Structure 1
Amino acid sequence: MPQTPPTTDLTHRLVPSPAGRIHLVEQGTGPLVLLVHGFPESWYSWRHQLPALAAAGYRVAAVDVRGYGRSSRPGAVDAYRMRELVADNVAVVEALGEESAVVIGHDWGSSIAAHSALLRPEVFRAVGLLSVPYTPRGGPRPSEVFAGMGGDEEFYVSYFQEPGRAEAEIEPEVRGWLAGIYAALSADTMPGPDLPDPHFVTRGGTLRERFPAGRLPAWLSEGDLDVYAGEFERTGLSGGLNRYRNMDRDWEDLAEYDGAPITQPSLFVGGALDASTAWMGDAIKAYPSTLPGLVGSHILEDCGHWIQQERPEEVNRLLVDWLNSLPA
């Protein structure tokens, strides 16, 4: 099991942003690297990367995305659209006294990182994407696409759309739900191919019904789970879920970027057993046109979705090698 590194050298900060405030955890000195988590996670998802990147000569800042942890949680659903999250990232760079940064994201954080680089290339000089490939804006309205998936079952993104619906499933017993979703998408605990897919919900059912029970993945200790559960028990899940509820707004907001490539130096690392990698295989194949600055694309065998926590040493090595290859 990966050991949680010591946190004595970490600095917690609250910095101003369009959300109100962003909480971040910082370590090291040197060129700035911004780390952006996904759902349902927090800055803590980068606990293995903070000391490794700092030791390699970088100033590393892992944020709580708006709606999570100690960052502000605006009440309006449309406050979680992509342009707002990009503005938060820009504000963090400015608040830390820097003019530019490398941005690295995982899961939803991968999409936030990609759009930060796309919308503000003068601020974000390179972009690293973990688990979720970059897909340019285009095609039909996202809600229409997701509604057509699953046949008699409902895709989880559609299930998340109605405010309060997923919260009613999760919030009465946050710790157990988090343990379930982490296990469902981890290489060593995910359901086998002969079992129902945990990304879908039976009509009138819940996601929890398909989560594995009784065993945590190897990368997640009881103490780690306590950290995640403690934050979400305090904040609730609406802030994180509201990101899913803005996909159609983003589709409208970003119309001018239809099909746009990201030209800065980039990196992709995915897990071979992650549904995101499998379902979005065409997006990875399109990287020569969508990510013309791609430095490396890596698929880690026998790895699930929580890639930087499941395989921290490999991910750290890939990130450090890529960062060291970037122009000063």
Structure 2
Amino acid sequence: MGVLTIVQRFLIANALTVYYSVLTVLFKFLPKYLMNPFGDPWAMKLKLEPPTELTDPKYGVHKYIKANNMKLHYVDSGDPSKPLMLFLHGFPEFWYSWRHQIVHFNKNYRCVAVDMRGYGDSERPEGVSFYKMELLVEDIRDLIRQLGYEKCILISHDWGGLVACSLRDTYPEVLHALVMLASTSHEAWAELMWTTDEQRKKSGYVFSFRAPKIPELALQLDNLAIFDQFMLVKGKDTVTTQDIECFKYWFGKQTAFTPPLNYYRANFAYTYKKKVHKENVPFLAVHGSNDRYLSHALLDVMKDAYTNIETMIVDGVGHFMQQEEPVKINKLISDMLAKHNL
């Protein structure tokens, strides 16, 4: 790829970051001050005690482990003699986003749902460079080893999916199978983001997240209303207001959004590589028909890049699919594992 192309993309990316940041100030911050100039739109109802759902024993035992020199918190459920099923959450989530899957799969697998670095009760190193993809991949590779396994079934969502896919590309030997929900490979995302208007528009938030401070302030508005707006689904009760309080408990803490946002800042791509992966790792990539952040064309790019992949679009489901439609998603995962005798 030529230097001119990279320079053009650099200029476009920075222009879009400024553009979306200005929109945030004009249409989110300014109206708050105009309507209530003496109010504080960033005042949050801090909770000293975690919601009872977070300590419910049905989800497992809370533990800590050192992996890749990073202290990680995880919830452990199921027989440790069974195969390891490891769950990687996305943004803005933590282990609790897998609550429906833990109680479904812990009869046949040892289910481990981890807080990735910078999230929940895991270690939160300061600085953008601590969130580069190669470090995130090594966290999970070493986590599998530290848990006492050589291989695992990896179930992932959103950013967890990008990390899981990079792990699969780098160390396919550590995976029995990979399921990726509402996600894509980093290369596929970069390709479509730079070559199609659809994915570039859907990725507007990614450009805005590159700015300093402004995205943190936007996400904290109105007592973290972002969680109510995007995780609660009208007419469905699989995500409750009590569940939302669990997310607000962790993301309501001081500077809680900065490490997760650093995933975007550290891994923004101006270039991408096209490579065909022929490794024999069962691979399922699933999108929801109502996903507002991902173009379904990403699945076509993935099919060109991976010879051993199944793709699927689930009707009537949005981005946070494993929470919104757990019965459907659990069945898809179960069917895929049964097909491969896992």
Query: TM-score, normalising length from structure 1?
Result: 0.77
CA-atom RMSD in angstroms: 2.9
Q: After TM superposition, give the deviation of residue 105 of structure 1 in Å.
A: 0.8
Query: What is the rounded CA distance, in whole Å, between the counterparts of 2:203 and 2:97 in structure 1?
Result: 28
* Identity in percent: 27
2:260 equivalent among 234, 240, 243: 240
**Distance change (3 Å), C-alpha of 1:258 and 1:229:** same
Match runs of 1:1-328 below 5 Å: 7-8=57-58, 10-18=60-68, 20-29=70-79, 30-55=82-107, 57-134=108-185, 136=187, 149-150=200-201, 155-171=204-220, 173-183=222-232, 186=233, 188=234, 218-234=237-253, 236-248=256-268, 258-261=274-277, 263=279, 264-277=281-294, 279=295, 281-294=296-309, 296-327=310-341
Q: How far did 1:290 drift?
A: 1.9
Report how many aligned residue pairs link the two structures: 284
Deviations 1:67-116 (A, max 9, x none): 10011101011111111111111121111111111211111111111111
Shift in alpha-carbon separation, 1:48–1:98, aligned structure 2, 3 A: same
Q: 1:272 to 1:9 in 2, by over 3 A?
A: closer
Structure ranking higher in helix proportion: 2
Output one character per residue of 1:42-65: Cα deviation in whole Å (capped at 9) or x when no partner: 10000000011112x111111111
Contact 2:84 2:112 in 1 (8 A): yes
Is the alpha carbon distance of 1:174 and 1:74 closer, same or farther for their aligned partners in structure 2, counting shifts above 3 Å? farther
Gaps of 5+ in 1: 190-216
The CA deviation at 1:137 is: 5.8
Deviations 1:207-257 (A, max 9, x none): xxxxxxxxxx64321210111000111252011111111223x667xx7x6
The answer (yes or no) to whether the contact 1:261–1:291 under 8 Å persists in 2 is yes
Look up the equivalent residue of 1:164 and give its one-letter code.
Answer: K
Q: What amino acid is aligned across from residue 93 of structure 1 in structure 2? A: I
Distance in 1 of aligned mates of 2:229 and 2:334 = 31
- Given that 1:163 and 1:238 are in contact with CA atoms closer than 8 Å, whether structure 2 keeps it comes out as no
Deviation per CA, 1:257-288: give whole Å up to 9, x if none.
Answer: 642436311012221111345x2x22212444
1:169 Cα deviation from its structure 2 partner: 2.1
Contact 2:216 2:257 in 1 (8 A): yes
Contiguous gaps of at least 5 residues in structure 2: 1-52
Shift of the 288–140 alpha-carbon distance from structure 1 to 2, 3 Å rule, reads: closer
Residue by residue over 1:177-200, the C-alpha shift from the partner in whole angstroms, topping out at 9 and shown as x without a partner, is 3222325xx5x48xxxxxxxxxxx
CA distance in 2, matches of 1:87, 1:222: 35
CA distance in 2, matches of 1:139, 1:96: 33
Distance 2:194 2:121 in 1: 30
Instruction: Look up the SS of the partner of 1:181 in the other structure.
Output: helix
Distance 1:299 1:138 in 2: 17
How far did 1:12 drift? 1.2
Post-superposition CA distance 1:139-184 (Å, at most 9, x none): 67978989x945xx9911111002312112223544323222325x
Which amino acid counterpart does residue 298 of structure 1 have in structure 2? M
Change (3 A) 1:143 1:70: farther
**Tell me, what secondary structure is at the counterpart of 2:253?**
helix
